[in-house]
Structure 1
């Protein structure tokens, strides 16, 4: 193996050990949690190495980086997740390669995604991004809709052609009552997820936790964790 592949393999093994340990501590089976590797700012060559190492779920947060990378890796057995704040003028591009959009947070975006998915002949999985730092009717500092707006937005996704409601996503907030309280934030997300599944039983995906707090997310019940730095290393500065 190349030096970079060895590095990635060692990092993946450490992350796998953390997830397995967190699952054991929480009394969960390891296969209840899916690892999504966040490949933002890293080249397609790293994505290829990750695929060779068995990674099947990758995430990006900027279309201008993700689109060419997805095209370069179109021959690989990967599912692409879009996790960044999404502008409507980027929707058509994102809908051409993303399998799941995790950052759905407003009605206008749902409408645009639906139109683009139908035009592309694709079905997009969608997660409603929950902002635990947002008041009713507002968006969070890092995107997302406040808890009070989740049900209405989820209903809209579920009713929109070309879209499939998968569940919820959150990013641990930097402000508000849950700032610095990742465990409490993720437990609140699980409460909202339980409420959502009353009307949308299949929307059981809960994406929470990153490199620094994946253990708290697993303990709370997250089904997917999004890990970048712990696998790929410290982020390179964006140009």
Structure 2
């Protein structure tokens, strides 16, 4: 965080990480799962690349971003960190596909055919293969009425088939955010149903990205393989827009 000495910030992150990892372990124990079945993706949006480096020192190898304008320079600033996986988790416009395909390893927010085409073309041009998750809209109101991202559950097979057929994309599984005002456990149970149905045709699509700082336990209980945690690890988000460290 701006104004915090590196040693103090590292200690803060280490403490928060320990708490979150313990929450994940307890949730897995309660669900009868092994803790290593769940990958912690630390969402670093609005935080500096210096925090990414500190997290890396603390053993984090998966970080998430939701805006290309911030993610692209941050990924470039951390390009020297071996084994660091970048997850793009935000809504993605097709005109940003080329940029995102240049640094992201996993794109969680694929929800329409035009985006599949754009990402495949961009990944081919970059000589890379992207793992893509179908974002599922779990809102009880139709997606077109809410303006939120995500494919309707009935549309998931069509988007998944397009990803699976793409030359430079790999179908990883599904992702969702629990809607406001809806019991997270019920929402993630719906996602589990969608994920199970998808695996009938695509058995390798085993990733289920669900759960954030406030509902990771419910997500793990419903079978999440990846939880996306920001505030619980990094603290309250800065109000200043991210700028790469010089």
TM class, shorter-chain normalised?
A: over 0.9
**Normalised by the size of structure 1, how large is the TM-score?**
0.95
RMSD (Å), alpha carbons? 1.4
Deviations 1:99-134 (A, max 9, x none): 000000111000000000000000000000000126
Map 1:4-83; keep pairs closer than 5 Å.
4-76=9-81, 77-83=83-89
The answer to whether the 8 A contact 1:136-1:147 is kept is no
Deviations 1:122-181 (CA, angstroms, capped at 9, x unpaired): 00000000001266784854310110100011000100110000000001112xxxx321
Provide the C-alpha distance between the structure 1 equivalents of 2:37 and 2:147, rounded to a whole number of angstroms. Answer: 30
Structure 2 vs 1, CA of residues 201 and 230 (structure 1 numbering), >3 Å: closer, same or farther?
A: same
SS in structure 1 opposite 2:166?
Answer: coil
1:121 maps to 127
Please tell me whether the aligned partners of residues 137 and 143 of structure 2 are also in contact (alpha carbons under 8 angstroms): no
Change (3 A) 1:102 1:140: farther
> Which of 180, 186, 189 does residue 184 from structure 1 map onto?
186
Give structure 1 stretches of 5+ with no counterpart. none
For 2:195, the equivalent position in structure 1 comes to 193
Higher relative contact order (CA 8 A, sep 6+): 2
Q: Indicate the residue corresponding to 2:158 in structure 1.
A: 152
Q: Is the 8 A contact 1:205 1:224 kept in 2?
A: yes
Shift of 1:236: 1.4
User: 1:80 aligns to what SS in structure 2?
Assistant: strand
The answer (yes or no) to whether the contact 1:133–1:141 under 8 Å persists in 2 is: no
